[in-house]
Amino acid sequence: MGNKFKTVAICCRKKNKQILEIAFQACEVLSNLKLDLIVNDKLSSLKEKVNCKIVKEKKLMTADLMIVIGGDGSILSFARNFGSKGVPILGINLGNLGFLADIPPKNISQSLMEVVNGKYLRDKRFFLEATIDAGTKSHLALNEIVIHSGAVAQLIEFELYVDGIFVYRQKADGLIINSPTGSTAYSLSGGGPIIHPDVKAITLLPMFPHSLSSSPLLINDKSKIEILVVNKNKATISLDSHNSLPLNKGEVVTIEKSKSILSLIHPRDHNFYSACRNKLGWSNSITTE
């Protein structure tokens, strides 16, 4: 249960017929509930059909709730830019395997009416924050931070330290550092563990390590992670598969839990295990002939 919302932003990262239809439906529902509606420029054509205001990206910060239409990629983008600054986010899922956007298009009207009347669940998620060589600029990721070679079938060499303690020196295609939110994303594809969002942990998962004894490592979410780039070739750091930066030999990447917290808004019937069951096929029966 939570507070009601007064100003709602409806946003998307790309525009197509389906997204416009869903955005229009959402605007109709929310307008009938006497809410102030703002939309980003991708949805500017809605101005001719419903009572809403087209605003620039920075003005979206004035919303009490942000509704993002799309898959997890869209959610991640708005989460970094606005969720990290305190705007709660609700996702309408158009993706195939989305774990962040959980309202299907067919349930929009009922779900939105319940949410704006305070009948919802608030789910707190933490971001990971990376700095390079103790630089002044930091970079956020909600799912994962990946150190990799930037090339196919090319190893990089790095040293891993946790809270100042040497863990190992490794040759691998890379290293995935993910939050519990990211445990159902890229890390899952690499064989990493699925972690409930309430677990306060960070996963360290080597990618195709040149070792016979390497395993995923779970550490406390308050730990300080340092990765020293050892190899002569350049490496790359990627954040949520969105922002990529080059790394040179001798540079140190420091990764910690960010002070920024994302508030994800869910319908009341949402639960993590149901999402895993439906999206990962946990209940699919195995038949034999």
Assess whether 72 carries a catalytic annotation.
Answer: yes
One of 72, 102, 123, 173 is an active-site residue; which one? 72
According to the 3-state scheme, what is the secondary structure of the chain?
CCCCCCEEEEECCCCCHHHHHHHHHHHHHHHHCCCEEEECHHHHHHHHCCCCEECCHHHHHHCCEEEEEECHHHHHHHHHHCHHHCCCEEEEECCCCCCCCCECHHHHHHHHHHHHCCCCEEEEEEEEEEEECCCCCCEEECCEEEEECCCCCCCEEEEEEECCEEEEEEEECEEEEECCHHHHCHHHHCCCCCCCCCCCEEEEEEECCCCCCCCCEEEECCCCEEEEECCCCCEEEEECCCEEEEECCCCEEEEEEEEEEEEEEECCCCCHHHHHHHHCCCCCCCCCC
> What residues are annotated to the active site?
72
